[in-house]
Structure 1
Amino acid sequence: MLSKAIRRVVLVTRVNKRNISCNELSSTTINIVKSTAPVLAKTGYDITKTMYNKMLSENAELRFLFNASHQLEIKNEIAHQPRALACMMYNYAENIDNLKLLEKAIESVAQKHVSLFVLPEHYTIVGENLLWAIKKVLGEKATIPILQAWKEAYFHLAGIFIKRENEIRTNKALQIGGWEGWRSFIVARKVKESSVITSFYLKSKDGKPVLNYKPGQYTALKLCTEKVKACRNYTLSKAAGDNKYRISVRRQEPAEKGAPPGLVLKVSNFLHDHINVNDEVLLGVPSGVFTFNHNHANDEKPIVLMSAGVGLTPIVAMLDFILKNNVKKSVTVIISNRNKDVEALHDWFVASEEKHSNLQVVFLYDDPLRLSSKTLNASKLDKLLPNKDCHYFFCGPQGYMKMVCEQLLKWKIPEDQINYEYFGPTRPL
C-alpha cells in the first residue's frame, strides 16, 4: 500500500509539470476572472450543463463516476450536478482573491474525490471540456483574454485539489487498515431494515484490518457487472470498531420522481435485488467532512441529531459513537419519516433510549405518501428544544434541511454549531 501512495505522489508531480500549477495567480488573471462573476451568475448553469453533456458522452472513463440522475432536468428542475459546479464556479470567481473563504467547500469536494478515486489526469479532461463549454455558450463574449484567464484559474484550482487529495489519500493509505483506490469487500450479512432500506455488512476480502472512520463519513461503492458499471457514495451507518463496515441503502423509485425507469438511480436498487451474502463489491476509503468528534462531546452544550428519510444513516453512526464512548451530556434525536413502514432501525433507537437516561428519541410521521417538512416544522422544533444552545447535526431532503437551517439561524445559533450534509451534489440552503 505504501508503494501505491508513493507512485501517486510521482503521478501528481508529473501531471503538475504538464498543465497544472499551484503557483500564485497573476493580478491580471484575478481581475479578469473576478469580473466574469456576474456573467456566471446568469450563464454558469448553461456552461456546466453543456460541459457535462460533451464530457460524459466522449469520456467513458469518467462516466461511471457520476450519478446519471444528477444530470437530468426532472419536472422542470435544473440538474443537480451542473448546478453544483455552476455554483462553485461562481463562488470561485467571486472569491478568487480570497480563497480562504472556499476552504470548507474545497475540503468537502476533495474528500468525495478521494473516496471515488478521482485521479489527477481527470482534472485535465474536465478543464478542457469546461473551457470548450465557456466558448460554446458565451460565443464572441469569451474573448482570448477571458479564456486564457479562466484556463490559468481553473488549473490553479485543480492544483489545489490535487495537492489536498494526495495528502488525504496518502494519509489514509499509511494508517492501520488503510488503502488507496479500490479494495475488495465481501457481503457478510444482508438485513432488511424496513420496506425500503436494507443494510449490508461488509468485510475485507483479504481478511486484513480495515480503516477506522469518523461517525458520519461515507465510502464509495463501485459495481462492475454486465448490468451496472457505476460508483456511489453510501454513509457508513454505524460507528467504527468491529473491523466491518455497514451501509444502509434506500431503494429508489425513479418513476415516481419523473426520471426514466432503468436509466437512473439503479445502483441502490441493484444492491437490493442482486447483491447478496458472499458477493463481492469494491469500496473506496472512508471519507467526508460531516462528522461528530470528541470536540462536540467535550463542552457542555447538548447534542441534537435530526434526520428525514434515509438521512437517518449518518445520524445512526453518530449516535452509535456517542453511546459507545459513554458521552454523558444530553442527546436529543428527532427522526422524521413518511410512516412506520419505511422507517429503519426503530427498535434499536427505542432500546438505546431505554438504556441511556441522557437520550431522548422523538419519532415523527407524515401519513400521506410523500415526506414533507410538515413532519417537522419550526413550531414543533421550538417546542421540542427548550434549550436552543446545542450542537446540531441534520440530514435529509433539501426542503427539510432548509427549514431546519432557517430556524437555527433565527435562533442565532453560531455557524460552528450547525452541521449538515447533502446526499449528492451540494446545493445552497
Structure 2
Amino acid sequence: MLSAAQMEIIKQTVPVLEDHGEVLTRHFYQRMFRENPEVLAFFNPAHQHAGTQQRALAAAICAYARNIENPAMLAGAVELIAQKHVSLGIQAEHYPIVGENLLASIREVLGEAATDEIIDAWAAAYGALADLFIQREGEIYRHQTEVHGWQGFKRFVVRQREAASDNIVSLYLVPEDGQPLQPHQPGQYVTLRVTPENGVPVMRNYSLSNRPGSEHYRISVKRELACDAGAPDGVCSNYLHDRIAQGDVVELAPPCGEFVLTPVAEAGKPLVLIAGGVGITPILSMLYAALEQQPDREVIFIQCALNGAVRPFERELATLRGEYPNLTVHVRFSEATDEDRIRALHDSEGLLDSALLDQLIGDQDAEFYLCGPAPMLKHGWRLLKQRAVEDADIHFEFFGPAGDLAA
C-alpha cells in the first residue's frame, strides 16, 4: 500500500520522467536483456530497434505517475497491457525481474537524484501496479481455460494456405487434437509460436481474420521487410511466408485482446469500419460478426490500400457486398496503378479524407472502428475529431506497441 508521502514523491517525479523517460526505458531494456536474457523471447526486436517499445513504456510510466492517486483512470491501458501479457504467457514470477531492473535503472540513470525515498516510493508504486496486473491476468487465464479449453500454447495444423494479396498470406489453422474451437470475439488476436532455423522460438500476435464461430482460425500475415538498412526484416512473418506449408504444425495461445466489436450502443447508429493495409484483419472479423448479429444495422466498410496488388480479400469483400444489402464497401487506393484503373479495382483515389466521410456517412452520428498503420490511425482520428465524434464512438488498435493518436 502506497502512503500519502510516497504518492507525493511519485507525483514530484513526473517532470523528470517527462524529460528523461525514454533514456530511462532504453537503459531499462538494455539492462534487463543483459541481466535476464530469459525474457528476450517476450519482445519483438523490430519494436526495440524502432524505439516504439521504449516510447510506449515511457508514456505508460508517466501516465501511471500522473494518476498515482486514481489508477482507475488507467483501466483501459491496464486492460490492453494485461491482454498482451497473457497472450505471451507472462506469469506472476516475471514481475520481480521487471521491478528489480526498473528500480536499478532509475538509480543508475538519475544518479544522486535518485534518493532512497524516491526508490522506496517507486518500489511501492511498482508493487501496487504489479499486483493489479497479476490479479487481472489471472482472471484472463481462468477465462481462457473456461471458454476455450486451454491456456498457454497448443499445437495447430496448417490446413490451408492461400495468398490474400501479393504481400499477405493467410493460414487456416485447426487444432491437432481435433477438439472444436469456441467462437472468438471479433477483433481478437492469437499468439503464434514457431522455431525458425536458428532454434530460437519466437512469438508474435496475429489478429484473427475469420468469421467468429468458424471451425478454423485464420491469420493473415504481411511479409515485413526492413524499413531501413539497420533494421531487421520481420523474423516471424518471413518465416511464415517462406517456410510454413500446408500440413505443418505451429503453436497457438488462446484468443486475447480488448479491441473487440461491442453490442450496438444506440439503435439506428451506423457502424463504420475503416481498415488500412493489413489492419483489415481484425476489422474483417468484425464485419462478419456485425452482418450476422446486427442484420438491420447500416454497415459502412472503408478499405484503404496502396494499390490492387497489395489489397487483401478482394473476392471475399465482393461476395459480402453482393450478399448484404445493408453493407456499403468503399475501396480507396493511395497509389493506384494503370492496371487498377483498367480493372476498376477501387472506388476512389487518395488518402482517407473528410469528403469521403461526408459522401458515405453524411451528417449521421456513427460508431467507428479503425485499424492500420500509425500514421493512418492518427490521420483518421483527427478527421473524426473534426467531425465532433465522441471519444466513446472511436475504437482503434495499433499493430505493435500502443501510441498516442493525439501526438
Residue identity in the other structure for 1:271? L
> What TM-score comes out, normalization by structure 1 length?
0.88
| SS of match in other structure, 2:255 | coil
Q: Which residue of 1 aligns with 2:212?
A: 240
**How far apart in 2 are the matches of 1:387 and 1:111?**
36
Q: Which residue of 2 aligns with 1:88?
A: 60
Tell which has more relative contact order, 1 or 2 (C-alpha 8 A, sep 6+): 1
Q: Which residue of 1 aligns with 2:25?
A: 48
Residue identity in the other structure for 1:41? E
Q: 1:41 to 1:374 in 2, by over 3 A?
A: farther
- Tell me which of 20, 35, 38 is aligned to 1:58: 35
Q: Which residue of 2 aligns with 1:28?
A: 5
In the TM superposition, residue 324 of structure 1 has moved relative to its aligned partner by 2.7
- Does the CA contact (< 8 Å) of 2:333 and 2:350 recur in 1? no
Residue identity in the other structure for 2:398? Y
Matched, 1:216 2:164: no
Q: 1:126 to 1:117 in 2, by over 3 A?
A: same
Describe how 1:30-429 pairs up with structure 2 within 5 A: 30-73=7-50, 79-175=51-147, 177-227=148-198, 228-254=200-226, 257-260=227-230, 263-296=232-265, 299-325=267-293, 327-367=295-335, 374-429=350-405
* CA offsets 1:267-325 (integer angstroms, 9 cap, x no match): 111101011111111111101111113335x6220000001111111111011112233
- Does the CA contact (< 8 Å) of 1:211 and 1:286 recur in 2? no
- Does the CA contact (< 8 Å) of 2:186 and 2:261 recur in 1? yes
Higher mean Cα deviation, 318-327 or 143-152?
318-327
* CA offsets 1:110-164 (integer angstroms, 9 cap, x no match): 0111111111111111111111111121111111100110011011101100000
In the TM superposition, residue 259 of structure 1 has moved relative to its aligned partner by 5.0
| SS of match in other structure, 2:42 | coil
- Does the CA contact (< 8 Å) of 2:370 and 2:395 recur in 1? yes
Q: 1:229 to 1:157 in 2, by over 3 A?
A: same
- Does the CA contact (< 8 Å) of 1:182 and 1:282 recur in 2? yes
Higher mean Cα deviation, 341-350 or 227-236?
227-236
- Does the CA contact (< 8 Å) of 2:181 and 2:215 recur in 1? yes
**How far apart in 2 are the matches of 1:223 and 1:189?**
17
In the TM superposition, residue 224 of structure 1 has moved relative to its aligned partner by 2.4
- Does the CA contact (< 8 Å) of 1:114 and 1:285 recur in 2? no
- Does the CA contact (< 8 Å) of 2:335 and 2:350 recur in 1? no
**How far apart in 2 are the matches of 1:223 and 1:28?**
48
**How far apart in 1 are the matches of 2:187 and 2:215?**
17
| SS of match in other structure, 1:353 | helix
Q: 1:368 to 1:170 in 2, by over 3 A?
A: same
Q: Which residue of 2 aligns with 1:8?
A: none
Higher mean Cα deviation, 153-162 or 348-357?
348-357
Higher mean Cα deviation, 325-334 or 267-276?
325-334
Q: Please tell me the root mean square deviation across aligned C-alpha atoms, in Å.
A: 1.6
- Does the CA contact (< 8 Å) of 1:332 and 1:360 recur in 2? yes
Identity of aligned residues (%): 38
Residue identity in the other structure for 1:350? A
In the TM superposition, residue 58 of structure 1 has moved relative to its aligned partner by 3.2
In the TM superposition, residue 382 of structure 1 has moved relative to its aligned partner by 3.0
| SS of match in other structure, 2:149 | coil
* CA offsets 1:339-374 (integer angstroms, 9 cap, x no match): 0000110111111111111110000001279xxx95
Higher mean Cα deviation, 391-400 or 263-272?
263-272
**How far apart in 2 are the matches of 1:226 and 1:133?**
34
| SS of match in other structure, 1:101 | helix
**How far apart in 2 are the matches of 1:374 and 1:134?**
46
* CA offsets 1:73-107 (integer angstroms, 9 cap, x no match): 4xxxxx00011010000000000101111000000
In the TM superposition, residue 264 of structure 1 has moved relative to its aligned partner by 4.4
Q: 1:274 to 1:288 in 2, by over 3 A?
A: same
**How far apart in 2 are the matches of 1:106 and 1:156?**
13
- Does the CA contact (< 8 Å) of 1:186 and 1:281 recur in 2? yes
- Does the CA contact (< 8 Å) of 1:67 and 1:265 recur in 2? no
**Matched pairs, number:** 393
| SS of match in other structure, 1:310 | helix
- Does the CA contact (< 8 Å) of 2:276 and 2:376 recur in 1? yes
**How far apart in 1 are the matches of 2:108 and 2:354?**
45
In the TM superposition, residue 326 of structure 1 has moved relative to its aligned partner by 5.0
Q: Which runs of 5+ in 2 are unaligned?
A: 338-348
> What TM-score comes out, normalization by structure 2 length?
0.93
Residue identity in the other structure for 1:385? I
